[in-house]
């Protein structure tokens, strides 16, 4: 069982940081919706408040790690230009997608949208984390602030979902491969 370094970084970017972020979004939305509503019956205790502060800060870190590894590690491999006359485009995913009418939209629509919309996630969740860190349980007395935090968290979920969906589909059609091969497990032939 082996994996290439480019494939490993794509995994870290998408299934590591990105997927963890998407999973974390639902928890943040439920917590902000239920516990910090002005109509919530139970008071928020300091321990729960501290937990959500850390949770949102970790989410913001995950969102930034996702877009930064995507834009500065994986994306350059994806968009690398093939030397003229290259017949096998497997090492040039963007060119591979653009070489066929059946796959070109994965780039012209999927990647073109993903590479920009993904950045709405870290901007939105950084705002949500900063506002929550500042106001904490006081959000219950600032319903408009809470609405904005919830709304931006929801949009960050949507943006990350769009980016994640297209990332997975693009990598299925034209995987980012290459670099050194890392041997994970030595199997035995049967």
Partner 1 sequence: MSAPASPSAKLPNGSGAAAILAAGIGAFLVAVFALAADKSAAFKSLMIFWKPTGPLSGVTTCAIVVWLLAWAVFEARWRKRNVALARINTVAFVLLGLSLLLTFPPIADLF
**Which residues form the interface with partner 1 (CB under 8 A)?**
67, 71-72, 75-76, 79-80, 108-109, 112-113, 115-117, 119-120, 123-124, 126-127, 130-131, 134-135, 138, 141-142, 144-145, 147-148, 151-152, 155, 158-159
Output the smallest distance, CB 162 to partner 1, in A.
9
Percentage helix, strand, coil for the chain under 3-state DSSP, each rounded to 5: 70, 5, 25
Q: Which of 72, 183 has the CB closer to partner 1?
A: 72
| 4 HSE (CA, 13 A, CB side) | 12
**């963007």: which residue's tokens?**
94
Output the smallest distance, CB 158 to partner 1, in A.
7
Q: Which of 120, 176 has the CB closer to partner 1?
A: 120
Output the smallest distance, CB 37 to partner 1, in A.
15
Rounded Cα distance, 99 and 96, in Å = 5
Rounded Cα distance, 8 and 17, in Å = 12
A 10 A CB-CB count for 176 gives 26
Tokens of 72: 């500065």
Q: Which of 167, 188 has the CB closer to partner 1?
A: 167
Q: Which of 100, 147 has the CB closer to partner 1?
A: 147
Q: Which of 96, 120 has the CB closer to partner 1?
A: 120
Output the smallest distance, CB 190 to partner 1, in A.
43
Angle (CA) 127-129-131 rounded to 5° is 65
């Amino acid at each position: 069982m082996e994996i290439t370094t480019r494939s490993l970084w794509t995994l870290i970017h998408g299934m590591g940081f990105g997927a963890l972020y998407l999973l974390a979004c639902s928890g943040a939305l439920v917590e902000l919706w239920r516990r910090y509503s002005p109509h919530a019956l139970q008071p928020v205790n300091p321990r729960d408040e501290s937990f959500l502060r850390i949770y949102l800060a970790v989410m913001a870190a995950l969102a930034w790690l996702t877009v930064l590894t995507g834009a500065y590690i994986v994306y350059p491999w994806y968009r690398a230009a093939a030397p003229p006359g290259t017949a096998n485009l497997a090492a040039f995913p963007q060119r591979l997608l653009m070489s066929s009418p059946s796959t070109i939209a994965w780039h012209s629509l999927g990647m073109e949208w993903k590479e920009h919309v993904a950045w709405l996630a870290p901007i939105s969740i950084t705002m949500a984390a900063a506002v929550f860190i500042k106001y904490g349980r006081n959000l219950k007395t600032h319903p408009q602030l809470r609405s904005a935090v919830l709304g931006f968290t929801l949009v960050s979920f949507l943006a990350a979902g769009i980016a994640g969906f297209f990332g997975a589909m693009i990598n299925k059609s034209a995987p980012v491969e290459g670099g050194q091969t890392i041997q994970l497990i030595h199997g035995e032939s049967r």
